[in-house]
Structure 1
């Protein structure tokens, strides 16, 4: 039995013994005061108290030993059931034997369930791998043939435009398939995060580098307010993808000449990254839905997209112990707040 449990039982035994002794002494003293013959009843009373105390001590010792044996037996039952070892209590008709049988059945069911989940995860992993492999070659061929067609001379204006559309739609299809694959891997736990203490400014720069060209083409300025000394516990690869998704939305839903401002603040538990834009904004009643899978706001109906980016961002951050929030005013822009675990706050 563990020392903490033993100490708890010892305190219980002492309380019981003191209570019983107090009752006996009180009763004896009361009887002596009533009879008024203290000398005559003194030694029989002392003997009675002694024998009663001895019986209590012996009874408590037996009960303590039995409790210790029961706890040790339960510990052996659980350990043996986990390891698949032979039964401890056998097949006797006792409460312990019944409990052992139930524990073995429960652990067997748990192991069976875990194996089933693992098998299903492996099947999904193989399916995702097959989808990725089977679609990669056809899409690559479509892109290649569209490039060859675009390089052909003598194509009429409409034909040239159609070829460009083929290339554009092929790129969108490739992006959609890759996003769906990432989403499936995240949901099934196939993708493993590797968070570590990493510079936040480096991760932000990595995300901006993927969207800077599109922002420049629309004349959208991107400013950063971040102390280079700030570090957070996160996976820089996947977190930069989160920031890219948020920045991609900011560029997409902002008018030419708009602004994007990124600010970072370090707190005791979290590091907060705010990405504020001057885009079309989000209705207040839709803020709780924007992170749902395949959800698209009413204002974005005329824009390209399928509603996966924000869902992926939330899942990636959640897998690292972080989270994301959104605040917006229609027509005035949106601010997405990314919260990463501060150094020293990594979840074990």
Structure 2
């Protein structure tokens, strides 16, 4: 538009100068020359005014189109038509509007997903907490009755304590999960030996393993170092080890084998447990998922889900392989040199 104005002004200026120059070469009297020059100037001014009126009309039309587009954006329409412009200024305005519309759609989609995540978590908490809460209420009612033998009273108190512990464990797990899924976790990565991290995770699972006489071994060079958050990585490895110990029979074995390749460090956690059926392998990392065969075991189906979330937060990934009756191997892959800006 700016170039069009300049072109029009230059053209009018040239026509005016050319017309006056033409008058000077004609044998005209002063009165006729002045009259002709005035006519040329008036014509030039008239052309400029007409051009300005035309430009104003064009500006009004484009402004209305921009306002219509903004109205569509305010109304949060998915599909917005952006008219095609040719002048530089309007094209720049339109590009900014397109960028804002894309940001707005992305923000709205992110907000929708976060809302669904929160709603899903609230629903899951209510569902998972319902059973222990109902049991605690039932035991409290029974204990409130008179003439209950002391032996039965102690039995109900123990059962109530177990349900309270289960409820506490659920709340702790849900808190960790909500922080991970809503992006509230801030990792504090630094380069440190992987063996120390594995040893800490093993120490946490050993009481359970010793109780079932399960042998836990670790194979990892003390020279292997990774940039990672030890606190959260211990949580992830512990959950994998806890799962292995839980589903391995008395006298079984759990082996941790870590090896560093060119780009990735691989951590295998293998057990000699009962294994996972092929049809369930794609579901084991889902929140609250438990195999039908695992209903008799303690747990709420959050351990593997939490492990996967943490490992992905560390820019790694996890896979699983299993043979029913022979055991299961979870493989964790972590970058040797993760992108510090990733």
TM-score calculated relative to the size of structure 2: 0.61
Query: What residue number does 2:265 align with?
Result: 271
For residue 338 of structure 1, the aligned residue among 301, 324, 332 is 332
Query: What residue number does 1:164 align with?
Result: 158
2:114 and 2:182 in contact (8 A); partners too: no
Tell which structure's C-alpha radius of gyration is larger. Answer: 2
CA distance, structure 1, for counterparts of residue 338 and residue 279 of structure 2: 36
Shift in alpha-carbon separation, 1:113–1:267, aligned structure 2, 3 A: same
Alignment pair present for 1:190 and 2:199: no
Shift in alpha-carbon separation, 1:193–1:344, aligned structure 2, 3 A: closer
Shift in alpha-carbon separation, 1:333–1:115, aligned structure 2, 3 A: closer
Query: What residue number does 2:172 align with?
Result: 178
Alignment pair present for 1:202 and 2:200: no
1:234 and 1:340 in contact (8 A); partners too: no
Alignment of 1:97-136 (within 5 A): 97-109=89-101
CA distance, structure 2, for counterparts of residue 202 and residue 295 of structure 1: 31
Q: What runs of 5+ residues in structure 1 fail to find an aligned partner?
A: 1-92
CA distance, structure 1, for counterparts of residue 248 and residue 320 of structure 2: 16
- How many corresponding residue pairs? 239
Deviation at 1:285, TM superposition (A): 2.0
1:55-103 C-alpha deviation (Å, 9 max, x unpaired): xxxxxxxxxxxxxxxxxxxxxxxxxxxxxxxxxxxxxx74423322222
Shift in alpha-carbon separation, 1:178–1:121, aligned structure 2, 3 A: farther
For residue 299 of structure 2, the aligned residue among 280, 291, 305 is 305
For the aligned residue pairs, the C-alpha RMSD in angstroms reads 3.3
Q: For 2:200, what is the secondary structure of its paired residue? A: helix
For residue 260 of structure 1, the aligned residue among 254, 259, 277 is 254
Q: What runs of 5+ residues in structure 2 fail to find an aligned partner?
A: 1-84
CA distance, structure 1, for counterparts of residue 100 and residue 341 of structure 2: 30
Q: For 1:318, what is the secondary structure of its paired residue? A: helix
